[in-house]
Structure 1
Amino acid sequence: MEVFSFYNVENLFLPDPKPRHKMDPTISGLKNWDVRKYKYKLQKIAHVFQLIKEENGTLPFIIGLSEVSGKQVLEDLVQMEPFNSEYGIVHYNSRDVRKVDVAMLYDKSKVEIIDSKAITFFFDNENKNTENYDTTRDVLYSVLKYNEMVVNVFIAHLPSKREKDINRPRRIIIINEIRKRILDLVNAGEHVILCGDFNENPDDENLVKILYGNSYEKVLENPFQQLFSTGNYSTFHYKSGLLFDQIILSKSFFKEDHMLSFQRAEIFSPEKISSREKKSGKRPFRTYSGTRYLGGYSDHFPVYVTLGKV
């Protein structure tokens, strides 16, 4: 059995340098983000994967991450237990205004990276007189080999819902581009996994549409649809439970003779990485609530799928 996971780790930044003046803005945008808090955050994230290992008997062989800022934080993370420098990193700096990226970690003893690239999106500003463009986080595309099997992996963190969801048109553009690329791959008989924080739930129109080809044939399966329909969530906005974090697979993973046949999907939410609020129940134990430092893990639960011969 193998585990494929995705985790939005909530603002994993290097420590901020001490400001020259109290009014200087920080790189991270976090209040008093120092070396002690950074190291503690790394320990927390590493601990999550140790817990996943204890739950499944193995570490994930592939890990998609979002909200990481630069490669150094990933290099610091993979040196820690339970990774012990045995995991490789695929990462590109994006042009995101908040300086957060997506990335992939992989077990070097099981996975070979054949190719990778960042898929970058530019959006026209409202001010047509400038040459500037708005940008968002890249989509990370990797081609990897597991044993003799080639798998295409897309990792995304789509633009957030805010200000009456002004970013929805941008999410549509990005999802449509991913869909085109996935259809080309699936039509060529390739295996595809798409994961990420989509800032949309599994039943939203964009994420339903991406499952189908041009002739309305189903080409992808989203096992997180069932979890969402039964009230399971990976993150929250005020009182609303959300399942923005998902792993979507090509239908080839649902064949019984597949080396990596789909077995189950999980939102990983043990008590150790959760906080319990009187009115709203169990939620992710986050690092910050606004500007208030809580010392938790992330404002998202990780998600994963288990794969293997049935």
Structure 2
Amino acid sequence: MELFSFYNVENLFLPDPKPVHKLDSTVSGLRNWDDRKYRNKLFKIAHVFQLIKEENGILPFMIGLSEVSGKKVLEDLVQMQPFSAEYGIVHYNSMDERKVDVALLYNKKKIEVMDSEAITFFFEITNKNQGNYDTTRDVLYSKVKYRGQFVHVFIAHLPSKREKDINKPKRDFIMNEIRTRILNIVNEDKENIILCGDFNENPDDENLKNILYNDAQEKVMENPFVPLFSAGNYSTFHYKSGLLFDQIILSKSLFSEDNMLIFRNAEIFRPGQIRSRDRKQEGRPFRTYAGTRYLGGYSDHFPVFVRFEINK
């Protein structure tokens, strides 16, 4: 068995330098983000993967992450148990205004990275007082080799829903670009594709439905998180609404019994340890901050993963 996981880790920043004045803005945007809180955050994220290992007997061979700021936080993370310096990192600094990126961690004994690229997006701004263009988080593309087979991995963290969803055109544009690239791979190589991320949309939203089909309306991808969402399973919450923004979408090849990796099932990982201690927030993720109040938790998202059987 192999696992592929995605986790929005909620604001993994290095500790902030001490501000000169009390009201000075910080790099992280967090309140009193010091070394103690940073070390606790690293421990909590590593602990999530220790729990995944205890449940499944293995760690994921690849892990997509979002809301990480810079490579140093990833280097610190993979030194910890259960990673034990056995995981490599694919990461690029994006032009995101908050300096948060996506990244890929991979088991160096199982995965060989053949190629990688940060897919960057620029959006024109009509208000010239704000500059000429707006940027957002990159989409990370990696081509890896596993047991002689190529796997194309896309990791995305799309612009959020806010202010009457003014970011929807950006999400539409980014998802269309990802879809074009996926169809090029499907048409030319017919190799395995994994698209994962925090899409800021649910599985039944139009972008997530469109990504599954080519122009002839033939299905080229499968989203195993559709039935989980339909059954009322969620990875994050906004006020009273349960959301399944965190998803892993797979090419049809990964459902073939002839393939090296064969999809078996999908899961939202939510053991009791990483759920909120607050009765009013029962069943929700135990997050690091609630507004400016430090809670000391894990993240405001649950991780998700898919299980593969290995065709020997």
TM bucket, shorter chain: over 0.9
Aligned-pair CA distance for 1:258? 1.5
Partners of 1:215 and 1:233 in 2: CA distance: 32
Change (3 A) 1:180 1:29: same
Matched, 1:265 2:258: no
Aligned-pair CA distance for 1:276? 5.0
Aligned residues: 310
Partners of 2:105 and 2:281 in 1: CA distance: 33
Q: Which runs of 5+ in 2 are unaligned?
A: none
Q: Which amino acid aligns with 1:114?
A: M
CA distances 1:226-271 after superposition (whole Å, capped 9, x unpaired): 0000000000001100000000000000011221100000000000
CA contact (8 A) 1:223 1:248 kept: yes
Residue of structure 2 equivalent to 1:117: 117
Counterpart of 2:229 in 1: which secondary structure? helix
Change (3 A) 1:210 1:84: same
Residue of structure 2 equivalent to 1:252: 253
Change (3 A) 1:130 1:16: closer
CA contact (8 A) 1:239 1:280 kept: no
Matched, 1:162 2:174: no
CA distances 1:201-227 after superposition (whole Å, capped 9, x unpaired): 000011001100000000000000000
Partners of 2:260 and 2:191 in 1: CA distance: 14
Residue of structure 1 equivalent to 2:107: 107
Residue of structure 2 equivalent to 1:22: 22
Partners of 1:87 and 1:279 in 2: CA distance: 38
Partners of 1:214 and 1:155 in 2: CA distance: 23
Residue of structure 2 equivalent to 1:282: 283
CA contact (8 A) 1:145 1:151 kept: yes
Residue of structure 2 equivalent to 1:197: 198
Counterpart of 1:26 in 2: which secondary structure? coil
Partners of 1:203 and 1:137 in 2: CA distance: 23
Residue of structure 2 equivalent to 1:7: 7
CA distances 1:62-96 after superposition (whole Å, capped 9, x unpaired): 00000000000000000000001000000000000
Residue of structure 1 equivalent to 2:214: 213
Change (3 A) 1:259 1:32: same
Change (3 A) 1:274 1:89: same
Q: How does 1:51-70 map to 2 (within 5 A)?
A: 51-70=51-70
Change (3 A) 1:219 1:289: same
Counterpart of 1:58 in 2: which secondary structure? coil
Aligned-pair CA distance for 1:281? 3.0
Q: Post-superposition, which runs of at least 4 consecutive aligned residues in structure 1 deviate over 4 A?
A: 128-131
Residue of structure 1 equivalent to 2:36: 36
CA contact (8 A) 2:78 2:86 kept: yes
Q: Which segment drifts farther, 94-103 or 280-289?
A: 280-289
The Cα RMSD (Å) is 1.1
Residue of structure 1 equivalent to 2:79: 79
Using the size of structure 2 for normalisation, the TM-score is 0.97
CA contact (8 A) 1:268 1:301 kept: yes
CA contact (8 A) 2:237 2:243 kept: yes
Aligned-pair CA distance for 1:278? 3.5
Using the size of structure 1 for normalisation, the TM-score is 0.98
